[in-house]
Amino acid sequence: MVELQTRDQALSYLAQMSPTGRFHVQPFKDGWLCTDVLTPEQMASGDATGLAKLVIDSETGVVYVYPSWSETMVADAHTTFKETGVNRAGRQFYPYQWHITINLRYEDDERIEYQMTAESLTDPPEPVDHREEHIPLQSDGLFVQRAAMSHAEWMSRQNQGAWPEVDTTEV
């Protein structure tokens, strides 16, 4: 079990999740409320608008992402979740739940085809999903399929439009 009693322990745990991230952490009844520390340039460019909040559950060590609500609203929503089991807005962010691998199978000017493999990292594991997907996909799919496609599109943007042949990500 993760030890999360002090601010330093919470910051150390966040560093495992995001080694380059900088966070402001504040304790509340059920854990730690975390917000990104932005540079003056990021603040001036409006990056603070819509900035999500993270909550580290001090009992479980699970990190949840919440909308850009006020700190009080996020803390209240998480406390309600802990008391009732009804999670109105938080989504587990860390520890990661899926390891996704994509392999480029086909590419032309009109379509790109990947073989996607998703491995569950949960205990007990979720069913494994092996299937070919076309990018871009316009229909609603499973969370892991959307994450794989989003990652491939992001990698393409990072590589001046070249689609990755093989890559992995965790969500």
Residues 84 and 105 in one domain: no
Q: Are residues 36 and 18 in the same domain?
A: yes
Same domain, 44 and 114: no
Domain contains 105:
yes
In tens, the pLDDT along 46-104 reads: 877 788 899 999 999 999 999 999 999 999 999 999 999 998 889 998 988 888 888 88
| Nearest CA among 34, 35, 30 for reference residue 79 | 30
Same structural domain, 120 and 81 = no
* Beta carbons within 10 angstroms of residue 22's beta carbon: 12
C-alpha span between 106 and 134 (Å, rounded): 9
Is residue 76 located within the same domain as residue 102? no
Tally of domains in the chain: 2
- Beta-carbon contacts of 51 under 8 Å, excluding residues fewer than 6 positions away, are 35, 36, 38, 68
Model confidence, pTM:
0.69
- Residue 82 sits in the same domain as residue 13: yes
Q: How many CB atoms lie within 10 A of CB 10?
A: 23
Q: Which pLDDT score is estimated for 54?
A: 94
Hey, what are 30's tokens?
Answer: 């059920």
Domain range spanning residue 122?
Answer: 98-170
> Is residue 2 included in any domain, yes or no?
no
